[in-house]
């Protein structure tokens, strides 16, 4: 490209903002669309927009738009809420692109490993069958197909359980004595929010450099792990000895996702396992507490 790439991140929340900052630091022109633009960090041009409103957002970037990243999250976690966020919202976004005569070089749709229905600890990659039992996975698959049939080069990035600053559920549960039985093992997959953003940034840079980008990637760290192992490690790290009466996990699935495709193209997670990621979170908490 002769000039700085221009990217619009639709649904510019936590991961989208981290992505935008990484790209802005590389000299990209970054636009972030969301309802409450006042929370966007400096460096991201705000675009106030509502995916439930068919009107083109007033701040929609004019002219060339090189990339579009659709990274919204459902605000209501029921079937209608998921459909509005992922299928209806993406449809509306594609309509806005067409109305503006814009044709990005690539559409990146941020999806989830929830599109896989495997629950017996199976290993999963981009070629594995997608047969989700939950409505959330089925709707995400429908949205992935919508992206793939949009007429634009499209890539789906299926992220696993995102953790990081501001995502404290597991840490809070462990501090309250949360335990998980070791049998049967409940394998989980996760990715730090910075690595989730970093993977998308890596793929966009790869495309901008004229290198091939596949249609699907799994966004996970290097080490899927049984939930009881993660919880026990956190208990030891946090010096938690109390045990809650209920030793029940809220997780239902159990699969092990591979990031082989992304790593083969040169992406490396900053936090290769839960140990590095949670150690950084716990360390940041300690610094925060000491500065109060």
Contact 223, 258 (CB under 8 A): no
**50: domain range?**
6-167+190-223+254-271
Distance of alpha carbon 67 from alpha carbon 104, whole angstroms: 5
Q: What share of the chain is helix, strand, coil (3-state, %, to 5)?
A: 40, 20, 45
Instruction: Identify the pLDDT of residue 242.
Output: 84
pLDDT tens, N- to C-terminus, the chain (292 residues): 558 999 999 999 999 999 999 999 999 999 999 999 999 999 999 999 999 999 999 999 999 999 999 999 998 889 999 999 999 999 999 999 999 999 999 999 999 999 999 999 999 999 999 999 999 999 999 999 999 999 999 999 999 999 999 998 899 999 999 988 898 899 999 999 999 999 999 999 999 999 999 999 999 999 999 999 999 999 999 999 988 765 555 555 799 999 999 999 999 999 999 999 999 999 987 644 333 3
Contact 7, 28 (CB under 8 A): yes
Tokens 């790290």 belong to which residue? 237
In order, the DSSP letters of 72-91 are ---SS-SHHHHIIIIIIHHH
Instruction: Identify the pLDDT of residue 41.
Output: 96
Task: Judge whether 284 lies within some domain.
Answer: no
For residue 180, give both structure tokens.
């998980």
Q: Tell me the three state secondary structure of residue 268.
A: coil
Q: Considering only CA atoms, which of 185, 171, 213 is closest in space to residue 69? A: 213
End-to-end CA distance of the chain: 47
Degrees, nearest 5: CA angle 146-148-150: 65
Instruction: Identify the pLDDT of residue 195.
Output: 98
| pTM of the predicted model as reported, rounded to 2 decimal places | 0.94
Query: Residue 120's domain is classified under what CATH number?
Result: 3.40.50.720
Tokens 């459909």 belong to which residue? 83
Task: Judge whether 141 lies within some domain.
Answer: yes
Task: Judge whether 11 lies within some domain.
Answer: yes
Structural domains of the chain, count: 1
Q: How far is CA 19 from the centre of its chain?
A: 10
Q: Considering only CA atoms, which of 123, 98, 202, 119 is closest in space to residue 157? A: 202
Task: Judge whether 95 lies within some domain.
Answer: yes
CA pseudo-torsion sign 292, 288, 234, 165 = positive
Contact 127, 234 (CB under 8 A): no
């Amino acid at each position: 490209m002769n000039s700085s790439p221009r990217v619009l991140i639709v649904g510019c929340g936590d991961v989208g903002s981290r992505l935008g900052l990484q790209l802005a630091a590389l000299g990209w022109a970054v636009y972030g669309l969301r309802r409450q633009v006042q929370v966007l960090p400096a460096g991201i041009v705000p675009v106030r927009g509502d995916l439930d409103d068919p009107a083109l957002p007033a701040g929609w970037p004019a002219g060339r738009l090189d990339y579009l990243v659709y990274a919204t999250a459902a605000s209501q976690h029921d079937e209608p809420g998921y459909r509005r966020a992922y299928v209806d919202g993406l449809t509306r976004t594609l309509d806005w692109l067409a109305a503006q005569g814009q044709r990005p070089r690539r559409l990146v749709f941020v999806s989830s490993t929830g599109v896989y229905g495997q629950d017996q600890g199976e290993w999963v990659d981009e070629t594995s069958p997608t047969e989700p039992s939950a409505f959330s996975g089925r709707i995400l698959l429908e949205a992935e197909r919508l992206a793939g049939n949009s007429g634009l080069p499209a890539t789906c990035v299926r992220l696993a359980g995102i953790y990081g600053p501001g995502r404290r559920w597991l840490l809070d549960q462990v501090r309250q004595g949360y335990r998980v039985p070791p049998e049967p093992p409940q394998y989980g997959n996760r990715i730090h929010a910075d690595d989730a953003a970093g993977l998308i940034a890596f793929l966009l840079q790869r495309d901008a450099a004229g290198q091939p980008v596949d249609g699907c990637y799994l966004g996970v760290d290097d080490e899927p792990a049984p939930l009881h192992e993660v919880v026990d490690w956190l208990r030891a790290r946090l010096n938690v000895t109390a045990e809650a009466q209920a030793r029940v996990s809220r997780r239902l699935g159990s699969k092990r996702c591979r990031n082989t495709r992304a790593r083969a193209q040169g992406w490396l997670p900053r936090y290769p396992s839960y140990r590095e990621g949670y150690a950084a979170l716990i360390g940041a908490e300690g610094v925060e507490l000491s500065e109060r």
